[in-house]
Structure 1
Amino acid sequence: VSLFAIMRCCILLEGQCAYLLTLLVCVVLFQWEVTQRTLNGSQFYTYSVCNVGEREQDNWLRTTFIQRRPSASRVFVELQFIVRDCNSFDGTSLTCKETFNLFTSESDADVGTTFRKGQFKKVATIAPDEITSKNELRINTETRVVENLSRKGFYLAFQDIGACVALLSTRVYYKTCLATVKSLASFPETVAGGENQALREVSGACVVNAVSEELPRIYCTVDGEWVVPVGQCQCNLGYEEVKDACQECQPGFFKAAASGDKCELCPANTQRLDSGALFCPCLDGFYRAPTDPPSGPCSGLPSAPRDLVATTTQLSTGKLHLSWSPPEDTGGRTDITYSVECQRCEGNVCQLCGEKVRYEPASTGLTDNKVSVSELDAHLNYTFTVEAHSGVSLFASQATPRSNRPPSTSALTTSLHYTGDDLAPGTAYLFRVQALGSDGSPGGSSIEEQFETSPEGTEGKRLRGRKSFTGFTQEWNLSNFYFKNICLFQGASLKTTRKRNSHSRQGPEDTYFSSSEQLKPLKTYVDPHTYEDPNIAVLKFATEIHPSHITKQKVIGAGEFGEVYRGNLKMPGRKEVAVAIKTLKPGYTEKQRQDFLSEASIMGQFSHQNIIRLEGVVTKFKHAMIVTEYMENGALDRYLKDHDGEFPSFQLVGMMHGIAAGMKYLSDMSYVHRDLAARNILVNNNLECKVSDFGLSRVLEDDPEGTYTTSGGKIPIRWTAPEAIAYRKFTSASDVWSFGIVMWEVMAFGERPYWDMSNHEVMKAINEAFRLPAPMDCPSTVYQLMLQCWLQDRSKRPRFGDIVNLLDKLLRSPDSLKIIADFDPRVSIRLPSTSGSDGSPFRSVSEWLESIKMSQYSENFTCAGVVTMDHVLQMKNEDIKNIGVRLPGHLKRIAYSILGLKDQTSTLSVFAV
């Protein structure tokens, strides 16, 4: 018992997790002695030595054998000790020391009491921060790291060379990343790596009833934190995500695809199946039309038309007019049409009227409730039957569902006519025609066809030619379609409506690109994906570097394709520069190699002080690499979190100005980033911000809309504009929305947008007009610019050129930043202010501090006697300062959180606020 008390060994909760390797019992060698001491009224034992008056001291203290977990190659040794002030001894100035040494020795077996100094290697010299005088004991705590352990166990030893030192306790531990579930993928507990493996890659597995297109992976850092998850799992069809698990849809709900969406309530007129339903079938007597989504409601058949009336105005010409009232019950549908059937009766025999009788406008597909019938013979009886139809009528009357039949097709013949000053004479233009529904939804599109403008000198610049556009999936006929006031470019894609002889219409989204500045037919960016051989694009836009000119130093991150290193680049005739080196991990496919190098083909075309600079690539050797300039301060979001509250608004606006300038440059090159976020902005030592990470970026085709439509892929919901989420159409305007989120991140010092709301909750909130509130101390002018970037109508959002000009004006007039936007702590604190994440009140001060990411101050609160939430509620700003919270950002976060705790009305969700 006394030996255990001498070496007080306990679990140290540091990082994510740390484990005790062994209970330490020390072997006493030479002059170290066991001593009983009293401190603060408590007795405890120490190992001590105090031969300060004798020369050439060499006193050793060694632990027993410490067994090592095979994967723990890096351990931490925490020492608590006391060192006596040499000045408190008389006549020992030449022999007294105030330090001692820590040594270690590895072994595959316990050697007992055998001790050989030559087998130990020095870890560190231990020096106290505070020296003990005659009247007051001062305890020091120091932690050292023992790296690259490889054998079954090891010993620690302490060497005294003439100090008066007492060793109170030794704690030996290693760090792990706790077993966790992230994005529905479970990862096992993993021992953190050492300096030679700063990031340890760990493979995971999707939780039960979840699937992923690629193997889930994640990295464990040396500090015991999980970072860079790859391969998101999604709940299978019939299941939804509930607290890191996939749970069956409840009865009456369904989910038709493997996705991150929630189960949906069965729509109207459908059967509500048991739990885990994949779809909701229609009730008897109700149907879905072929064009209805399988997740939509089912419809009934329309009732019969009413009040059929026939009137004749020209008996001599055999013409009459039929009219009727709509059916009382439409079956819940709006696509009601009518058909008219004519029967001619002679005596008791009736037969169809045949083709002789004419109908205006038609006999079927009528949307109006009237029709004119002509070419009727005199002295005959005619019977007219009017039927009401809807999208489900044919479906309901046939044994084979219409949705299982192939859609019919037809060709469209159209002539294009255009006169305008922005078309070049004698020039070929490519066109693609796309159908639009009455609600503006896109339909089928044709293949590209070529037209030519009239030669120089002829009247106007009229498009010549008549083409048949094919490839549509709807039945419709259009001829002599006239395009007017359409902005045309080479390679443009035009939209048409389904009305005959109608003018093309321009949606509100097109006006974003309608200024003269945006209508330049110049294309300065070349999409590397258009090259048949992607390697040619790399050679054209990037400089080849020989690997011998590159020196890797340290892993600083992990990308999609491999590790990222800090290193140096020394090219012949050039000064050595620090660089970041992206590598391609072994076992890659050729497609992965091309995708990896395509980012270099993109970056190589940019040259701007606020865009990350490409130094070159390595492609002609086994290990491909991308070399860029090195940004010392890393990603902007992490940098801001580490310096919370340290920068004034003026400096933060300067950072935004740099980002906006870089985005203006990309926008002017007709380029859309698609993944603009603070995590993709890098910061150097001069606090210059540069746009990076072009892995998700795509070119803006120079069509009138200026959009890129994706066929799939992941979208960063919290940073993405609503139209890009809904229709996967990305523009410079959607990048402006993302820039508004980046502005919020900057002013909130790296806070996560929308806090802990799920992606589904974020989309719902945005569609209900919720916008992020102003961060603490955010200037009103800056917040108003954010709100402009988040306008629902993208045509009304500012352009990057406008944003750069406005931020420039703010920087030139610092007084404009003094008016602060209204701040509501009930919304802006991450968690509801009076409760934990599960809605229950905070059970402890440490739980509350963890919820606002201020857990580093737990000991400060405890030492100050603030140990209950009631004590917290009584604190004032001065009290917070007095317990040791000095950083302005941390002080404000804690103070505003306490303010929110006092407001009992703030327990509702963000939406209620």
Structure 2
Amino acid sequence: MRATGGELGWLTWPLDQGDKPGWEVIQRTLNGSQFYTFSVCNVGEREQDNWLRTTFIQRRPSASRVFVELQFIVRDCNSFDGASLTCKETFNLFTSESDADVGTTFRKGQFKKVATIAPDEITSKNELRINTETKVVENLSRKGFYLAFQDIGACIALLSVRVYYKTCPATVKSLASFPETVAGGENQALREVSGVCVENAISEELPRIYCTVDGEWVVPVGQCQCKPGYEEVEDECQECKAGSFKAEASGDKCTPCPANTQELDSGAVVCPCMDGFYRAPNDPPTGPCSGLPSAPRDLVATTSAGKLLLTWSPPEDTGGRTDITYSIECQRCEGMVCQSCGEKIRYEPAGVGLTDTKVSVSELDAHLNYTFTVEAHSGVTVLTSQAVPPANRPPSTSDDNLDVTTYTVLILEKNSVQIKDLVPGTAYLFRVQALSSDGSPGGSSMEEQFETSGTEGNQHGQRSTQMIQRQKSIYGFCIFLFRKRNSHTRQGPEDTYFSSSEQLKPLKTYVDPHTYEDPNTAVLKFATEIHPSHITKQKVIGAGEFGEVYRGILKVPGRKEVAVAIKTLKPGYTEKQRQDFLSEASIMGQFSHQNIIRLEGVVTKFKHAMIVTEYMENGALDRYLRDHDGEFASFQLVGMLRGIAAGMKYLSDMSYVHRDLAARNILVNNTLECKVSDFGLSRVLEDDPEGTYTTSGGKIPIRWTAPEAIAYRKFTSASDVWSFGIVMWEVMAFGERPYWDMSNHEVMKAINEAFRLPAPMDCPSAVYQLMLQCWLQDRSKRPRFGDIVSLLDKLLRSPDSLKTIADFDPRISIRLPSTSGSDGSPFRSVSEWLESIKMSQYSENFACAGVVTMDQVLQMKNEDIKNIGVRLPGHLKRIAYSILGLKDQTSTLSVFAV
């Protein structure tokens, strides 16, 4: 009223009350300022019913809840003489909804009471006290409303009436823009509001937030993130500056281009490698680029324990990589004719994939020249062996960068030798080493250098020698070994040092810890004791037979901190359970091979026993492959198998039989190196979750076990070879369950009837043929692990050999309607079919695309499968092949119909 300078047009009722009017506008002066009030003060009159109604108040459609704030004065009834019986000190607030202004029409029956208004402070004759009260009007639904104030006999002055609703203001949160939103009422305490990502931001989930009744934003859902090439700057997404990049949608900032990459203009999503630098297939596209490693250095040969030991120093330049491995190539020469050494000679621990800078060579023939080539590889150089190197992959390494070492091995029974056919103008180093009668090496002479003249012809020396030829970057060794004659037994010329059959025996043989009278003695002999204070548990990563398995840190004083896996023994164990638990450590502690899980140590001298092993970041091989279905090429899968075979060869050479070789018992680290684990033997299989078949003496994992081991419990390295064939199938099938959902009885019956697992999709023929060799019924005809390693090495050296794909029958490899239910009935739904081929994660994709019947499934083509969101190559093939198998099915087909 002060602003308008006049009446507000509020309606009073009754309209005419004679000498005692109802509500009326009164102008007052307070502290020198004029203000207006609506007042009523008929305290001496009985049965007062005076109404004051506002004009029509239009409502915003979403404002269902409004607040009415009143400022008012109520006079103390005791200040009126003789009026205390009729005087009141309260008044009432009413409201009435309407879709249109009803003008001066007034009916009390249209109003609903909101509240009785009572003052907190009463005004006396001498002191003015102003009250403020706020009331809520809920559940408004029509276009507008009126407020009304009812006086029932009080002395009141309304100073202010403020009507408002609350809103959550327009805002940007987590890169999502949300509009101004009216707060909800008591029936909608939290009002959900959808937002829109700001420019150059995206979200996998629709961004949402909730507006409270108090006008506050809470619980944002579905955060927006800046697109690749953009970063968040003050609620906006701005392009990455030149020389920086961001590869994916995330909340991260742009980062400078890594080492050896090209710096592009603004908005870059990746920094490509500079010329001469590369990324390996498993390197993240955001990481630095690496150069090729230089050649290994300082190649040296010595003899030790009846073997030739090659040692060398790492490359001077590793190309910035840590995944350096080495391979050995060998040539043998008779006169001027040289050829590959083939499989005759023996490398320990292996001839390829070496991480250590040494290798032991045996089974060399006497009187021959041997040339050994040591090559350094890294994640980028291994690409050179691929048939067609993709773009941005390195060229083949030049032979000029190789260290080539030639050895001549002679066994002498005399103290002199004549050296012929030496290279003119070349320096040679000579050394003599004695051997005892049992073949063990003795002391050796100092190296002595001789140099041939620079003219053509032969240069002669009169010493039994070891020599090193030096010419450009090629180094040659001629080793001449002198054997003393045994005083009792004359040795014939065929008794040569390197070809002795004794060299086939391993350096040590596995010792069963259960042969010890006290099993604790075996633990102390083969495992290192660790103090529990050196172990930090971080997170539970699984549960074993005996207790939980943790990821943790091992920090032993004087040694570098390493990540470890910690197996624990659950409380309440018996002494036998403790001994069985620790027996695995007694077994593991005897092994030392890069493809066997490494035992760090044990805790036995404290209440809580623990087994500590190296930590394998990617966990079990079967689950890892299922999670990365279709993401690896055959070459990489064969590389994994080669590592497993090398580990099993080592165990076989130690006369150890694993008995439970399966992909679930192979662990994978962050460089995709596979290591054999789980050495609990059959004792651990008692509670194995895999399907087992009970025979006398324990349970057997049927799907992985050779027929003779099932029938007669005849476990040998040959039965481990059968299991390795099943592991090969698991790897090439990306973790598929062997024999699918067949029962154990069906599996045994099928194997006895000569059924063998079919080739997985895209499996190279050479790999599948090796599987079939592993599954020969006659165990004596199965290949040995040494043969398997050699064959896999050949395949890896010749990637073209992996191009020929084995025949694939989708009707056998994929579960069919005839085998989907116990009654052999067809699939009843799309979801049932997807579950049978382990693709149930796509059920929603099919449903959203309207593919809800099997008839619709059979009409789908590859492009249709892609369009509904199946992108992974392995998943796409699995679904497509299954549809093909369903189309080809013309009659009930048993899983045994081969």
| Shorter-chain TM band | 0.3 to 0.5
- Structure 1 residue 257: deviation in Å? 61
1:699 match: secondary structure: helix
Report the CA distance shift for 1:619/1:717 in structure 2 as closer, same or farther (over 3 A): same
Report the CA distance shift for 1:902/1:52 in structure 2 as closer, same or farther (over 3 A): farther
Report the CA distance shift for 1:742/1:216 in structure 2 as closer, same or farther (over 3 A): farther
Moved more, 242-251 or 105-114: 242-251
- Structure 1 residue 899: deviation in Å? 0.5
| Cα deviation code 1:191-240 (max 9, x no counterpart) | 99999999999999999999999999999999999999999999999999
1:616-627 equivalence runs, <5 A: 616-627=601-612
1:899 match: secondary structure: helix
- Structure 1 residue 277: deviation in Å? 77
- Structure 1 residue 288: deviation in Å? 74
User: Hey, what's the Cα distance between the residues in 1 that align with 2:572 and 2:112?
Assistant: 39
User: Hey, what's the Cα distance between the residues in 2 that align with 1:449 and 1:159?
Assistant: 123
Q: In the alignment, is the contact (CA less than 8 A) between 1:415 and 1:482 conserved in 2?
A: no
Report the CA distance shift for 1:307/1:600 in structure 2 as closer, same or farther (over 3 A): closer
Q: In the alignment, is the contact (CA less than 8 A) between 2:532 and 2:603 conserved in 1?
A: yes
Q: In the alignment, is the contact (CA less than 8 A) between 1:261 and 1:760 conserved in 2?
A: no
Aligned mate of 2:884, from 874, 896, 899? 899
- Structure 1 residue 563: deviation in Å? 0.8
- Structure 1 residue 104: deviation in Å? 36
Q: In the alignment, is the contact (CA less than 8 A) between 2:694 and 2:700 conserved in 1?
A: no
- Structure 1 residue 355: deviation in Å? 69
Report the CA distance shift for 1:792/1:594 in structure 2 as closer, same or farther (over 3 A): same
User: Hey, what's the Cα distance between the residues in 2 that align with 1:912 and 1:638?
Assistant: 29
User: Hey, what's the Cα distance between the residues in 1 that align with 2:217 and 2:151?
Assistant: 40
Q: Which residue of 2 aligns with 1:379?
A: 367
Report the CA distance shift for 1:400/1:879 in structure 2 as closer, same or farther (over 3 A): closer
Q: In the alignment, is the contact (CA less than 8 A) between 2:817 and 2:827 conserved in 1?
A: no
User: Hey, what's the Cα distance between the residues in 2 that align with 1:503 and 1:36?
Assistant: 140
- Structure 1 residue 844: deviation in Å? 1.6
| Cα deviation code 1:52-72 (max 9, x no counterpart) | 999999999999999999999
Q: In the alignment, is the contact (CA less than 8 A) between 1:773 and 1:827 conserved in 2?
A: yes
- Structure 1 residue 580: deviation in Å? 0.5
Aligned mate of 1:856, from 841, 851, 854? 841
Q: In the alignment, is the contact (CA less than 8 A) between 2:38 and 2:157 conserved in 1?
A: yes
| Cα deviation code 1:799-843 (max 9, x no counterpart) | 000000000000000000000000000100134468545421212
Q: Which residue of 2 aligns with 1:117?
A: 108
| Cα deviation code 1:760-807 (max 9, x no counterpart) | 111111111110000000000000000000000000000000000000
Q: In the alignment, is the contact (CA less than 8 A) between 1:417 and 1:463 conserved in 2?
A: no
Q: In the alignment, is the contact (CA less than 8 A) between 2:468 and 2:475 conserved in 1?
A: no
Report the CA distance shift for 1:414/1:686 in structure 2 as closer, same or farther (over 3 A): closer
Report the CA distance shift for 1:341/1:433 in structure 2 as closer, same or farther (over 3 A): closer
Report the CA distance shift for 1:687/1:390 in structure 2 as closer, same or farther (over 3 A): closer
Q: Which residue of 2 aligns with 1:580?
A: 565
Report the CA distance shift for 1:590/1:718 in structure 2 as closer, same or farther (over 3 A): same
Report the CA distance shift for 1:262/1:35 in structure 2 as closer, same or farther (over 3 A): same
- Structure 1 residue 912: deviation in Å? 2.7
Report the CA distance shift for 1:329/1:752 in structure 2 as closer, same or farther (over 3 A): closer
Would you say 1:840 and 2:825 are equivalent positions?
yes
Q: In the alignment, is the contact (CA less than 8 A) between 1:8 and 1:169 conserved in 2?
A: no
Q: In the alignment, is the contact (CA less than 8 A) between 1:449 and 1:469 conserved in 2?
A: no
Would you say 1:92 and 2:83 are equivalent positions?
yes
1:906 match: secondary structure: coil
Report the CA distance shift for 1:664/1:349 in structure 2 as closer, same or farther (over 3 A): closer
Would you say 1:421 and 2:406 are equivalent positions?
no
- Structure 1 residue 904: deviation in Å? 2.2
| Cα deviation code 1:78-124 (max 9, x no counterpart) | 99999999999999999999999999999999999999999999999
Q: In the alignment, is the contact (CA less than 8 A) between 2:429 and 2:467 conserved in 1?
A: no
Report the CA distance shift for 1:35/1:288 in structure 2 as closer, same or farther (over 3 A): same
Moved more, 204-213 or 156-165: 204-213
Report the CA distance shift for 1:721/1:60 in structure 2 as closer, same or farther (over 3 A): farther
Moved more, 45-54 or 665-674: 45-54
1:508 match: secondary structure: coil
| Cα deviation code 1:354-383 (max 9, x no counterpart) | 999999999999999999999999999999
- Structure 1 residue 905: deviation in Å? 3.1
Q: In the alignment, is the contact (CA less than 8 A) between 1:418 and 1:462 conserved in 2?
A: no
User: Hey, what's the Cα distance between the residues in 1 that align with 2:547 and 2:534?
Assistant: 20
Q: In the alignment, is the contact (CA less than 8 A) between 2:65 and 2:139 conserved in 1?
A: yes
Q: In the alignment, is the contact (CA less than 8 A) between 2:363 and 2:499 conserved in 1?
A: no
Q: Which has the larger radius of gyration?
A: 2
Gaps of 5+ in 2: 4-22, 399-410, 458-465
User: Hey, what's the Cα distance between the residues in 2 that align with 1:779 and 1:691?
Assistant: 24
1:144 match: secondary structure: strand
Report the CA distance shift for 1:176/1:772 in structure 2 as closer, same or farther (over 3 A): farther
Moved more, 239-248 or 525-534: 239-248
- Structure 1 residue 531: deviation in Å? 1.0
Report the CA distance shift for 1:658/1:101 in structure 2 as closer, same or farther (over 3 A): farther
Q: In the alignment, is the contact (CA less than 8 A) between 1:183 and 1:232 conserved in 2?
A: yes
User: Hey, what's the Cα distance between the residues in 2 that align with 1:43 and 1:178?
Assistant: 36
Report the CA distance shift for 1:284/1:166 in structure 2 as closer, same or farther (over 3 A): same
Q: In the alignment, is the contact (CA less than 8 A) between 1:510 and 1:795 conserved in 2?
A: no
User: Hey, what's the Cα distance between the residues in 1 that align with 2:121 and 2:793?
Assistant: 51
- Structure 1 residue 284: deviation in Å? 92
| Cα deviation code 1:684-735 (max 9, x no counterpart) | 0000000000001699999999999996111111100101111101110000
Q: In the alignment, is the contact (CA less than 8 A) between 1:527 and 1:699 conserved in 2?
A: no
Moved more, 373-382 or 101-110: 373-382
- Structure 1 residue 592: deviation in Å? 0.7
Q: In the alignment, is the contact (CA less than 8 A) between 2:733 and 2:761 conserved in 1?
A: yes
- Structure 1 residue 869: deviation in Å? 1.0
Aligned mate of 1:152, from 143, 146, 150? 143
User: Hey, what's the Cα distance between the residues in 1 that align with 2:620 and 2:308?
Assistant: 78
Q: Which residue of 1 aligns with 2:178?
A: 187
Report the CA distance shift for 1:536/1:379 in structure 2 as closer, same or farther (over 3 A): closer
Report the CA distance shift for 1:109/1:139 in structure 2 as closer, same or farther (over 3 A): same
Moved more, 248-257 or 52-61: 248-257
Would you say 1:43 and 2:43 are equivalent positions?
no
Q: In the alignment, is the contact (CA less than 8 A) between 1:416 and 1:482 conserved in 2?
A: no
User: Hey, what's the Cα distance between the residues in 2 that align with 1:648 and 1:377?
Assistant: 39
Would you say 1:327 and 2:315 are equivalent positions?
yes
Q: In the alignment, is the contact (CA less than 8 A) between 2:300 and 2:310 conserved in 1?
A: yes
| Cα deviation code 1:384-410 (max 9, x no counterpart) | 999999999999999999999999999
Moved more, 777-786 or 294-303: 294-303
Q: Which residue of 1 aligns with 2:810?
A: 825
Moved more, 43-52 or 528-537: 43-52
- Structure 1 residue 499: deviation in Å? 49
- Structure 1 residue 555: deviation in Å? 1.2
Report the CA distance shift for 1:451/1:683 in structure 2 as closer, same or farther (over 3 A): same
User: Hey, what's the Cα distance between the residues in 2 that align with 1:906 and 1:564?
Assistant: 49
| Cα deviation code 1:520-569 (max 9, x no counterpart) | 59752221111111111111111111111111111111111111111111
Aligned mate of 2:486, from 479, 497, 501? 501
User: Hey, what's the Cα distance between the residues in 2 that align with 1:740 and 1:564?
Assistant: 29
- Structure 1 residue 640: deviation in Å? 0.5
Q: In the alignment, is the contact (CA less than 8 A) between 1:521 and 1:702 conserved in 2?
A: no
- Structure 1 residue 45: deviation in Å? 43
User: Hey, what's the Cα distance between the residues in 2 that align with 1:889 and 1:653?
Assistant: 17
Report the CA distance shift for 1:518/1:748 in structure 2 as closer, same or farther (over 3 A): farther
Q: Which residue of 1 aligns with 2:443?
A: 444
Moved more, 119-128 or 619-628: 119-128
User: Hey, what's the Cα distance between the residues in 2 that align with 1:613 and 1:214?
Assistant: 43
Q: In the alignment, is the contact (CA less than 8 A) between 1:715 and 1:725 conserved in 2?
A: yes
Taking structure 1 as the reference length, the TM-score comes to 0.44
Moved more, 596-605 or 438-447: 438-447
Report the CA distance shift for 1:202/1:439 in structure 2 as closer, same or farther (over 3 A): farther
Root mean square deviation, CA, Å:
31.9
Report the CA distance shift for 1:267/1:631 in structure 2 as closer, same or farther (over 3 A): closer
User: Hey, what's the Cα distance between the residues in 2 that align with 1:839 and 1:8?
Assistant: 88
Moved more, 195-204 or 837-846: 195-204
Moved more, 207-216 or 384-393: 384-393
User: Hey, what's the Cα distance between the residues in 1 that align with 2:212 and 2:435?
Assistant: 52
Q: Which residue of 2 aligns with 1:229?
A: 220
Q: Which residue of 1 aligns with 2:390?
A: 402
Report the CA distance shift for 1:813/1:443 in structure 2 as closer, same or farther (over 3 A): closer
- Structure 1 residue 318: deviation in Å? 73
User: Hey, what's the Cα distance between the residues in 2 that align with 1:365 and 1:95?
Assistant: 106
Q: In the alignment, is the contact (CA less than 8 A) between 1:682 and 1:690 conserved in 2?
A: yes
User: Hey, what's the Cα distance between the residues in 1 that align with 2:507 and 2:647?
Assistant: 19
